[in-house]
Structure 1
Amino acid sequence: MLPIKKVVVMEDRAQVERAGSVPVNGVTRVEVAGLSLVAVDRSLKVEVKGATLLEAKLERRWKEVPFGGLPSDASETLKHVEALRLRSLEQADVVQRLDARAEVLTGARANLLRSISELTGYGTPNVQAWREQLADLSHRQLTLDEERRAVREALSVTQQRLREAQQALNSERPRTRHECVLVLRLDGTGEAQVRASYLVPAAVWRPAYRATLTGAQVAVEAEAVVWQHTGEDWTDVELAFSTARPTLGTTPPSLEEDVLYLRPKQQLEKRVVDVAIREEVIQSAGEGGGTTEMPGLDDGGETRLLRASSRTTVRNDGQPQRVSLFSFTSQALVERVCPAELSSLVFVIARFPNTAGEVLLAGPVDLIRDAGLVGRGQLKYAAPGETVKLSFGNEDGVQIARETDEKTEEARLTGRRTTTRKVKLFVSNMRTSSTKLIIEERVPVSEVKEVEIQVLTKDCAPAPSTVTRDGIARIELELGAQSTKTAKFSWELSAAAKVAGV
């Protein structure tokens, strides 16, 4: 009567919307069966056009589910089950008696063998009598074993027939099941248009992507992976996916006072500047920004609603199902980059704008190149028009070896210490075509004026094209087919005499 028309899947639940027409003649009670047992009562919302809504509620009750079969048939089945049960008990008793006889014969054979060994030791053997006794015992045991096998086989057949008869008997008995029913009381005449919505748990979705690099273009397909075990199938429905979190509160947290205290420097602090070299993660709100792992959905702090490209059916089986959302193709800036300090491999990096007109939520992305699937990466949140950065694996045939040399000198008069690091990079291109690549080297970044750091451009070959404020130097190289090249990079750290820790 009111089929499911639309479902909005949220982070950990779903909003189900049913709609349809209902005939009304005066005050009419309408019952819509088949709702999920876990539907949230307080989330029920009903809109009616063409009639007056007097009452709307969810009722859960036991419903008898009768099966076919005449009472006389059921009685015959019950008699058959009882007869099979008694026959099974009788055959089980026979098996027990035969097992007891088998134990007696086994004991008799053991006693006879023991008597034979004792009498033989005393020097009074009776070979003919022993031969006859052993032959008689063997004959009895063989006969008994055959009888036991036949009775056990008959017992197994009887038990199988008993199980089948019991299943048939159970199918003839009425069963009950719990059901949830939407109960409406309407007042009016004619056809009334009814729309009802409610929340159900046990439904979840997460974004997933597929990125294909072809030349200087990247094609991105966005999909939603949805699971649901709500108790009702979503058949040919309009699907939408939301990042809303109804369980979160709407009241902002209270800010507490954060008191700062000042104190004069001690004499030792005036004479010595204590510094330390530490690793820092580069934080960014743009390309590549965000945390490595985000619980739930990363929507950039604003609720988003994405719609499926077509009507879809999602079964109530708890299995993942991929639903297409949208796709787009963008021109990409493709670079071959090697972070030589961390790896000797050269990676293919593509930077391209998000031209989909929709946000790209954080999620896993399958990376595909000409040769096929190269791996799986993680796509960060990207707004429309924002630049997206993806790595499409390493470039075969290009490798880099790295050597470092570090030297520290101290001025005798001023005590100023100077540390010079020289890096030598050996680049090999074993491919049959030329290539351009970028080597990234790190340079320390100073936060105090007593420590100065500079790149020695005169000692670099070639000189880095850029050095970012985060201390990343980019060295651009162009290699011919099946060739090698050597690059040099150098930087200097100068610290005043009163600096300690470096």
Structure 2
Amino acid sequence: MATDTPSPALPGATTVTPAPLPLPVTAVTCLEDRAQIERGTTVALAGGEQRLRLGPISALAVDRTLSAELTAAAGAARVLDSRITRAWTPRAPGPPTADDSALRHRLHELEEARRTAVERHQRLTVRADLLEQIAADLLREIGESTGRGQADPQRWSRELTRVADEQDDCEERLRALNAEHQRLAREEQQARAVLAQAESEPLELTAFLELTVHAEQAGPAELRVRHLTPCALWRPAYRAVRIGGTLRLESEATLWQATGEDWTGVRLTFSTARSALAAEPPGLVADQLTLRELSGEERRTVEVELREEEIGTLGPDQPATAGELPGVDDGGEVRVLQGPAAATVPGDGRAHRVPLGAFAVAATAERRAVPELSPLVTEVVTFRNDSGRPLLAGPVDLIRESGFVGRGELRFTAAGADAELAFGSSDDYRLLRESEESRSTSGLPGLGQRSLLTRTVRVHVSRLGPPAEPAGAAGAAGAAGAPERITLRERIPVSEVSAVEVRLRKEACDPAPDEVDTEGVVRWELAVPPSGRRTVTLVYEVAASAKVAGL
């Protein structure tokens, strides 16, 4: 039996591998809006210079970020040139194959049925036109024969009846076919919409990595390739489980990737680095300051205005709303999180959660009310970040012993700092806020006249009572009927100019506030029994001199 013996390679000759070598993804570093892909494999090198073709890889790989390294066990090996080549291979026309899903087969059947219905409609339309022409010819023949005195009423009646029956049958078939065509079009549209959500079209653009390497001697070598790829991003997410006085916080990374290839069994690293941002400092421009004399009107008048300032400590008091995932907030310092185990992430563009860690800590709950912002009383849980690392900002799935209760938001929290989560509103509380104000003046015009604005805010807090307990459950009824404490917060203006003075009238407040901070937030601790009602009154004054304008 004769066999072909390959001829020895000439020195310096280029050897092209007959088929591409696989180059799987081994590690991925996910950034805020892209991913750094690391690939690795073992290649068998021959002595001298040669070319390798590996892949396929993602066609979205960024060429200018490509780097390749060779590590040979025997002798030296290095990469002389590396490049990514792409090929356009459109999908072959024809019906779906056995590898396609049942949904694609169903869509193909609907397309064929609608195409057949269109052809039948065209044939019936032609037949209807022919019958219309036959009826016109028959009527013309009747007119001409009657004029010549060659009447044949029996034959004419028979022919007209047969043509009318054929026209009625054709019109009925056309109506049925139109209804079937509309039904098929609706089903085809629904199938296309479902297919667009369930599956993605196969990529027509493929990419391969071509390397030119030089090896001192033949032998195996380890190849490592790195490059950036768009269409991949991650955001932090959490799952908070509260049982009694303990809160368990599970950290997760929500990952999306539509790079055109699946990441199977890869090491995942999540970084908050923003490689797309420019590192250049802003340019300096000249800022010229000039002085001028105030006019008489400006000396006599002080322009002031009321403005809203957002206070960060009031954020957790508001009911959490489920919105889009926020951007990565790392507190101004790059954070790197390691995945605990290898993971598989399909390239379907959907959200996939990767667990990062969890910790349990003691938590305290407090009911808070901010009636100026919301008529609800929110339960806020405070806990300490004992994870040993900062908690990035992200959405939190809130879970009680009874199950899932909603979604909140966790702000950036340093290690060892306190964090707050709003676990929704308490349904047994109602708030009603009323506000009124009055204006007056004191003093003589031009001799220290002052305007006085007095504002009175009343907040009515109502608590619905629990249902009546049976006689044998006196202990349970007593526990349910115990008063609960809520924290109510209001605010007063804070003046930044000496011409305007804000004074809290504590003697007119009922009850007296427990605390007033420097930012103008007034706080009360209220005990409200079941079926009880409390009214909180806040009174403050804003006094301004006559030269103040804008209030």
Q: TM-score range by the shorter chain?
A: 0.7 to 0.9
Distance (Å, rounded) in 1 between the aligned partners of 2:343 and 2:65: 24
Q: 1:223: Cα distance to partner?
A: 1.8
In 2, distance between residues paired with 1:423 and 1:97? 80
| Contact kept? 1:287, 1:387, Cα under 8 Å | no
- Mark the CA change 1:108 to 1:361 in structure 2 (over 3 Å): closer, same or farther: same
Cα distance, 1:105 vs. partner? Answer: 3.5
State the match for 1:9 in structure 2: 30
Instruction: Tell me how far 1:236 sits from its aligned partner.
Output: 0.5
Residue 217 and residue 140 in structure 1: after superposition, are their counterparts in 2 closer, same or farther (change >3 A)?
closer
What per-residue deviation string (whole Å, max 9, x for no partner) do you get for residues 19-70 of structure 1? 23333342254432222223223322233333321424124155999x9xxx
Partner of 2:543: 494
Q: 1:137 to 1:311 in 2, by over 3 A?
A: same
For the pair 1:361 / 2:386, whether they are aligned, the reply is no
Shift in Å, 1:402: 2.4
Partner of 1:164: none
2:292 maps to: 263
Contact 1:2 1:21 in 2 (8 A): no
Match of 2:514 in 1: 465
Equivalent residue for 1:52?
77
Corresponding residue number in structure 2 for 1:106: 132
Alpha carbons 2:368, 2:379 under 8 Å: kept? yes
Cα pair 1:350 1:389 within 8 Å, conserved: yes
After TM superposition, list the pairs within 5 Å mapping 1:239-278 onto structure 2. 239-278=268-307
Task: Give the CA deviation at 1:249.
Answer: 2.2
- Superposed CA deviations along residues 63-95 of structure 1, whole A, max 9, x for unmatched, are 999x9xxxxxxxxxxxxxxxxxxxxxxxx9999
Distance 2:314 2:509 in 1: 32
Structure 1 residue 474 corresponds to structure 2 residue 514: no
Asked if residue 20 in structure 1 is aligned to residue 41 in structure 2, the reply is yes
Match 1:35 to one of 54, 57, 61? 57
Q: Partner of 1:323 in structure 2? A: 354
401-410 or 436-445, which deviates more: 401-410
Aligned pairs for 1:360-379 within 5 A: 360-379=391-410
Deviation string 1:208-266 (CA, Å, 9 cap, x unpaired) is: 22223333333222222222222322110001111222222222222333333333332
Contact 1:34 1:232 in 2 (8 A): no
2:235 is the alignment partner of 1:206: yes
Residue 261 and residue 138 in structure 1: after superposition, are their counterparts in 2 closer, same or farther (change >3 A)?
A: closer
In the TM superposition, what is the alpha-carbon distance from 1:458 to its structure 2 partner?
1.6
How far is the alpha carbon of 1:454 from its aligned partner? 1.8
Say whether 1:181 aligns with 2:212: no
Give secondary structure in 2 for the equivalent of 1:457.
Answer: coil
Moved more, 262-271 or 447-456: 262-271
Q: Distance in 2 between matches of 1:452 and 1:64?
A: 76
**Contact 1:31-1:184 within 8 A present in 2 as well:** no
Identity of aligned pairs, percent? 40
CA distance in 1 between counterparts of 2:498 and 2:357 reads 52
Whole-angstrom distance in 1 between the partners of 2:44 and 2:152: 103
Cα offsets for 1:145-175 (capped at 9, x unmatched):
9xx9xxxxxxxxxxxxxxxxxxxxxxxxxxx
Give the letter aligned to residue 35 of structure 2. A
Bigger drift between 306-315 and 185-194 goes to 185-194
Question: 1:324 and 1:133, CA in 2 relative to 1: closer, same or farther beyond 3 A?
Answer: same
- TM-score normalised according to structure 1 size: 0.77
Q: 1:428 aligns with which of 462, 467, 471?
A: 462
Work out whether residues 41 and 57 of structure 1, in 8 Å CA contact, stay in contact via their aligned partners in 2.
no
Q: 1:311 aligns with which of 307, 320, 342?
A: 342
**Which residue number corresponds to residue 160 of structure 1?**
none
The one of 353, 367, 382 aligned to 2:413:
382
Structure 2 distance, partners of 1:262, 1:438, is 50
Q: Distance in 2 between matches of 1:347 and 1:311?
A: 40
Q: 1:129 to 1:361 in 2, by over 3 A?
A: same
- Residues 109/411 of structure 1: CA separation in 2 closer, same or farther (3 Å cut): same
Residue 316 (structure 1) shift: 2.2
Given that 2:82 and 2:211 are in contact with CA atoms closer than 8 Å, whether structure 1 keeps it comes out as yes
Give the 3 Å change call, closer, same or farther, for CA 144–277 of structure 1 in structure 2: closer
Measured after TM superposition, the shift of residue 447 of structure 1 is: 0.8
Given candidates 99, 122, 133, the residue that maps to 2:159 is 133
Kindly tell me: are residues 209 and 103 of structure 1, through their superposed partners in 2, closer, same or farther at Cα, counting changes over 3 Å? same
| Count of matched residue pairs | 444
1:219 pairs with one of 224, 233, 248: 248
What one-letter code is carried by the residue in structure 1 that aligns with 2:453? T
Partner in structure 1 of residue 376 of structure 2 = 345
Q: Could you tell which deviates more after superposition, 244-253 or 276-285?
A: 276-285
| Structure 1 residues 355-380: Cα deviation after superposition (integer angstroms, max 9, x where no partner) | 22232222222333344333333332
Name the CA distance, whole Å, in 1 between partners of 2:123 and 2:373.
Answer: 78
1:134 Cα shift? 3.0
Q: Which moved more, 1:277-286 or 1:471-480?
A: 277-286
Q: Shift in Å at residue 99 of structure 1?
A: 7.0
1:232 and 2:261 correspond: yes
Residue 64 of structure 2 aligns to a residue whose secondary structure is helix
Match of 2:330 among 288, 299, 309: 299
Q: What corresponds to 2:365 in structure 1?
A: 334
Q: Distance in 2 between matches of 1:488 and 1:139?
A: 89
Contact 1:206 1:226 in 2 (8 A): yes
Q: For the residues of structure 1 that align with 2:491 and 2:122, how far apart are their CA atoms?
A: 84
Letter in 2 for 1:254: G
Asked if the contact 1:444–1:453 (Cα under 8 Å) also holds between the matched residues in 2, the reply is yes
Unaligned 5+ runs, structure 1: 68-91, 149-175
Give the secondary structure class of the aligned counterpart of 1:342. coil
Structure 2 length-normalised TM: 0.70
Taking the aligned partners of 1:34 and 1:426, their CA distance within structure 2 comes to 68
Q: Provide the C-alpha distance between the structure 1 equivalents of 2:33 and 2:452, rounded to a whole number of angstroms.
A: 58
Answer whether contact 2:452 2:541 (CA < 8 A) is retained. Answer: yes
Match of 2:424 among 393, 402, 406: 393
Give the one of 432, 435, 452 matched to 1:404: 435
**Residues 287 and 388, structure 1, Cα contact 8 Å, conserved in 2:** no
RMSD: 4.0
Q: Is residue 195 of structure 1 aligned with residue 224 of structure 2?
A: yes
